[in-house]
Structure 1
């Protein structure tokens, strides 16, 4: 038996290779579908791996050391400094947001202030223009300290090298512009221009006070081992030795975790879009195989007449299909492998690290696996049907239309392959929950579109007879045996739904940042307001803006260290909730329920409450963390661990950009603790001139208060969203191209029957105009059916992504959705008609001789 199977497989291979000598005619759409999807996945994953690999390889330079220790809103203790400095060569620094202003008070700007010591930088090089050594650029000269700034700061305040600015209570001379800040990525995303000074200058400016929002850090070049195991051991030792320090410890193995995480998540999104395009192309693969087999009817019939069993026929053509699929995958891999080399230069100008392109076998292997599995899964079913058609039917030119579903082994094989494809998509995803939802949505869309296709055919079959000949022909084409309806509805439906989803996501993001959000958001945020300044600050603001609304709340910083008595770790916290536990969070206390929130569970404490510490937790984040009323959390605040019981849960309107906190404590929790205040100013009628006046008045009266104009922050966010939008539109283009290819494949699969129909109808007196109108009606009716599905499914998908994943308000915008559908249908149906035009030009005699 084994020998017979080997003989049969060898024979199938020889016959398949011999038949492939005739070329790839009829498989160009097949190749395009496989190459497009594979190339998209390979390109996205290769670029992602290039970026994350570059970050890892330059980990020391990006981090500024082998290991970095950070504490929020406090300084390191003497014991902590002694321990850290014993590990190797160290460099201390501090970072905060504050205001820099011109000496005459005429203008000011928010800056990301960074203070460094004489040892900075431990790795890499600080490059300035003009080039100056660190000790000279920051030195004090006649009571004026040196500073270096980002070039945009000079443009914003119309300054030049040598000019002076005021920061806090100190005067600074701008001695150079920053060209390269080697560890800028580890400092995180900045909303304002960089301004760098010395640690001594920071003390002179008087910016660090009790409750100030300042990040203190130590970067260390280790004397000992710096491999992954040694760094992990150091983290463990530091955590055990200073259990209550509440510091963040980062190593060069994970120098920029936020950036790496964002790259991985965005690449996952684009990979899933590419996979969807590949699956949409899978329908095109099935159509192409079906059309190709139509041209092989005579060969298949001959093989079956000379005794070839169905399995041998299927094996011959499956080998051919997979060889051609392999060639398509190879084309996609070449495209994907080349993409990092084209993208490296552009990305280097966006992210300040050396990006070295290379080949990434892992990413290419994943893309190749997806491409081959998709081709196999969608090719098995038409091949199985072809193997079951008797030779007599093939000789009678009946083709494969009436053969129905293949036998269960082929159905099972295709089903298992698709399940494996979905499982792989989820397994390789960074966030498997989102990937699982995405895969489930595609599966539901497939099932629903199948039902839509059958419903359209059933409706056409029962539609009353109409007098219009073109319309009657169109309705007949929709429900006749072998009709294109299922393939066209499935391919167009998936492609259009993906297009509508991407368009609505992009538009919702833009509208939220440029339209609704500025209308709801306050005009200003003010932070680092000391208790001794809060009354005077409020008087300054209300004098200038008497109709404005000032909301002020006390603020501290704290980190969650335990949930329900158990230490938090990556293992016991779901991925979607880990952001709550990263670093210190802003916390506050309040007698009354804050605005823009409402209780969803539990009771608010009395105004004069004096019992055990209580906390009100945001309900959404509590659900993600598995917390409920009555549970306890432990928070480290100002070096002290506080155990508080959850008294209630709140629904918080985060999108309002008002002052909101995940955790609000009962007032007695922080009795006597030093803290600062945070305030917002809201006045919808304030214009740019009034906002500028408020900014100058607050900065001059209280130079250490940080003023953030919300409009400036939103403009920066708009630029970021614009860059994301480019990627979204590129993904939409891939989806549109996939839909066009699939429609072209469906038309190619139905060309034989359409040629026969056109010839017979033209012989009976039909004109080309009549037939064209019939095809326009047919494609229009199918487009209308798929458009209705795409509107519904795309609207729901976009709502889920925007409201549930991005936690932003989402609304269905029919104008955007309809314009997207109209444009896509115009392109796809237009291409369909172009393909049909060739059918109408066939001469009658050769076709009639075959009937």
Structure 2
């Protein structure tokens, strides 16, 4: 204890001179810790806000949803027994101007007089919902999202047609309290009364419609879990989706957690990259203290005391950096809440999230210990005579095992903490393996660059010869520069290539292969006339139509899917209703890979063909039983075969295709696609207008519009991702600056000796410029190769999209690497070149 006390006093006394030598250290720890604290605090704030406003966001204490059918009398009686029930109906359809000059796809929400049970609906003008939606002569009131009003140039008092009903615009939607629980829509919202929807004639046999029942429970109602259990027990074939206020927006919450995990991993990348800066800063700091260390050892200070002195200093400085990062994490929820409140139902109240701050603190401390242990070990084992004699620490061998073990344990703890706190542990483990592999590869690249420089032919230019020698000489900056800048650049290249390829696919490859239109809710009675209309309007087009129903998977082999541990990549198949169909032959854009297709006249037990990729993700095999609820009936079918689907075609594809006898006599509608490669924009507008006017109850979706919406969302997401990647790149730049600063002492000696021997400042500047140019070029080449491979894997193997190398990304990476390396390098060495020779020569 006396040694600890002595070391702590010496550490505090030595720090009276300030934090000189630790500024890069501080910045690296603060940025990485701040990124992790901010991301996790914002995520916690958003999820907590969603949970605290559950009843408002859900629109009730309980939400029952049925697809393609309304609740039966018995089911409705059960719902009414629980409390006050507000009903709403949602579907997509086409809204068109009365003169037929324009139309748009819309999301229709029809509500009753009890809407909303919780929260406040706001419109402009601010009037009661019942007044806004009331009938006005031969038209029904309607409020619409601002996007639709702008798109169709509508204003209050203008009229709009949906199906067979005439609507009049009475206002614009400002705030819809339960919008989040309705899910994301690709089309602008309009709100009407149930009477208006009934008059439209849009709800028919097989129409894709959602019936929602939101309940405000009675005071003496049983617990929510008990109600859920009773609903499933008393109505096993209902097929309804039940959601409580505790899970008001599960998809949004899950996406927030997924995105926050990604940003946390990016922040961890910045922190680990900053760890290299910590190691460089500690080494440079200890190198500058070599005479102090020598003096302490000569006066009899044990090596352990010397190590403790500088360990305390490092921990104190690390504490300051972590505190700065935590301050960012504290204010981040308030800042994010202020800007995100217009998009998401979150509050901007100031609050602390201890778990998020503690997590960031642990990451910061583990990183400090992991990267500071080795330099501290070197300082312990260098004798006092060597410190007086040499210019610094020679780190050609590892320190003793306690220091290596400490570094290894800290790295292991860092990895374990990242995996244990991850939402998707598999993804976190892959990230850590990739990070470790990147460090190994970067170290090998540095050795390779030094070996190439060592074996390069002798050149006549003294400046270039000196630059090449600096790359491979002992104590060269090569490992530090390539390691620090390579990881950040590789991450930026990866994200840029993924974003570029995804956008290219959405606007190019996919749009070229995709059909021009999707037509939904085609009734059997309309099918022949619809075919004739398309034949007239698009004689060169290819029309494909298939029957379509909606069903929810409720069990595999008799086991409830809600109680199964399903891998994250396969959960989307079980989330909500899926489109299903039946067919006598193998559908287009698919190939049977396992099993056999059923005969055209098959009459046996229900069979199903399952998508191969999704089936593997769900752990299914041939012969397994799949139970699907369709129109209130549970149907169990046996998996007869698996199909490989071409999702990239954006054609009609179904995860499940059943044998025709499965749905014999079941009411359903049809879905169709139109492929017309030669159609121009005006041709598509004519086709859309003709179908909408002739068949007002058929929903027409122009695929290009849907792709444009997705492209816009991808662009917004890419901005956030690139901003996160910029944090890692900033850390890389700081580490690079720290690495150059760590080598400035040796550079000063070299420059003074060379100037004494006749070298001019101009020649030395050229030599340093060549050196940084070669190192920057090598780093850029590695970043392009590593980033391209990573992007290829994500786009090709995960997204299943074609991959193309983007030259502009390569040029931008090359320019960024060269400008950063040369700029920071010359900025750091400019002061070196101005050193007076005499004081330096006296120290040699």
In the superposition, the TM-score normalised over structure 1's length comes to 0.96
2:31 to 36, 59, 75: 36
Partner of 1:111: 106
CA distance in structure 2 between the partners assigned to 1:162 and 1:105 by the alignment? 18
Q: Indicate yes or no: 2:472 matched with 1:470.
A: no
Q: Indicate yes or no: 2:194 matched with 1:199.
A: yes
CA contact (8 A) 2:555 2:628 kept: yes
CA contact (8 A) 2:7 2:309 kept: yes
Single out whichever of 701-710 and 47-56 deviates more from structure 2.
47-56
Partner of 1:3: none
Shift of 1:188: 0.9
Q: Deviations over 1:42-80 (max 9, x none)?
A: 122222222222211111111100110101111111111
Q: Structure 1 79/402 Cα, relative in aligned 2: closer, same or farther at 3 Å?
A: closer
Partner of 1:73: 68
Partner of 2:559: 566
**What runs of 5+ residues in structure 1 fail to find an aligned partner?**
1-5
CA contact (8 A) 1:54 1:356 kept: no
Shift of 1:353: 4.9
Q: Deviations over 1:331-376 (max 9, x none)?
A: 1111222222222221112225544342222212211211111111
1:176 to 168, 171, 175: 171
- DSSP-derived class of the 2:185 partner: coil
- DSSP-derived class of the 1:24 partner: coil
CA distance in structure 2 between the partners assigned to 1:8 and 1:321 by the alignment? 17
CA distance in structure 1 between the partners assigned to 2:641 and 2:249 by the alignment? 36
**What runs of 5+ residues in structure 2 fail to find an aligned partner?**
none
Shift of 1:698: 0.8
Partner of 2:417: 424
Shift of 1:761: 0.8
Q: Deviations over 1:14-62 (max 9, x none)?
A: 1111111111001111111111111111122222222222211111111
1:387 to 351, 372, 380: 380
CA contact (8 A) 2:492 2:722 kept: no
Partner of 1:498: 491
CA contact (8 A) 1:388 1:403 kept: no
Shift of 1:510: 1.9
CA distance in structure 1 between the partners assigned to 2:692 and 2:609 by the alignment? 34
Shift of 1:106: 2.5
The residue correspondences of 1:112-131 to structure 2 (distance < 5 A) are 112-131=107-126
2:653 to 660, 685, 688: 660
Partner of 1:440: 433
CA contact (8 A) 2:139 2:168 kept: yes
- DSSP-derived class of the 2:157 partner: coil
- DSSP-derived class of the 2:525 partner: coil
Aligned CA-pair RMSD = 1.7
Q: Deviations over 1:93-140 (max 9, x none)?
A: 110001112223222221100111111110012222223223322223
CA distance in structure 2 between the partners assigned to 1:689 and 1:321 by the alignment? 68
Q: Structure 1 67/810 Cα, relative in aligned 2: closer, same or farther at 3 Å?
A: farther
Single out whichever of 592-601 and 206-215 deviates more from structure 2.
592-601
CA contact (8 A) 2:122 2:173 kept: yes
Q: State the number of aligned residues.
A: 844
- DSSP-derived class of the 2:671 partner: strand
The residue correspondences of 1:389-538 to structure 2 (distance < 5 A) are 389-402=382-395, 404-538=397-531
Partner of 1:850: 843
The residue correspondences of 1:335-350 to structure 2 (distance < 5 A) are 335-350=328-343
The residue correspondences of 1:177-256 to structure 2 (distance < 5 A) are 177-224=172-219, 230-256=223-249
Single out whichever of 386-395 and 798-807 deviates more from structure 2.
798-807
CA distance in structure 2 between the partners assigned to 1:843 and 1:652 by the alignment? 73
Partner of 2:323: 330
CA contact (8 A) 2:333 2:348 kept: no
The residue correspondences of 1:570-609 to structure 2 (distance < 5 A) are 571-609=564-602
Q: Deviations over 1:743-778 (max 9, x none)?
A: 111111111111111111111111122222222222
Shift of 1:279: 0.6
The residue correspondences of 1:758-777 to structure 2 (distance < 5 A) are 758-777=751-770
CA contact (8 A) 2:378 2:395 kept: no
CA contact (8 A) 1:370 1:421 kept: yes
CA contact (8 A) 2:517 2:674 kept: yes
In the superposition, the TM-score normalised over structure 2's length comes to 0.97
- DSSP-derived class of the 1:786 partner: helix
Shift of 1:305: 1.4
Partner of 1:23: 18
- DSSP-derived class of the 1:349 partner: coil
Single out whichever of 498-507 and 607-616 deviates more from structure 2.
607-616
CA distance in structure 2 between the partners assigned to 1:545 and 1:298 by the alignment? 87
CA distance in structure 2 between the partners assigned to 1:744 and 1:135 by the alignment? 65
1:623 to 603, 606, 616: 616
Partner of 2:641: 648
Shift of 1:230: 2.4
CA distance in structure 2 between the partners assigned to 1:258 and 1:810 by the alignment? 29
Q: Indicate yes or no: 2:104 matched with 1:96.
A: no
Partner of 1:144: 139
Shift of 1:819: 1.9
Shift of 1:700: 1.3
Partner of 1:697: 690
CA contact (8 A) 2:776 2:817 kept: no
CA distance in structure 2 between the partners assigned to 1:390 and 1:766 by the alignment? 35
Shift of 1:824: 3.4
CA contact (8 A) 1:344 1:357 kept: no
CA contact (8 A) 2:541 2:676 kept: yes
Q: Indicate yes or no: 2:565 matched with 1:554.
A: no
Shift of 1:639: 1.6
Partner of 1:831: 824
CA distance in structure 1 between the partners assigned to 2:395 and 2:499 by the alignment? 44
CA distance in structure 1 between the partners assigned to 2:824 and 2:742 by the alignment? 15
Shift of 1:187: 0.9
- DSSP-derived class of the 1:839 partner: helix
CA distance in structure 1 between the partners assigned to 2:614 and 2:810 by the alignment? 32
CA distance in structure 2 between the partners assigned to 1:189 and 1:402 by the alignment? 57
Shift of 1:804: 4.0
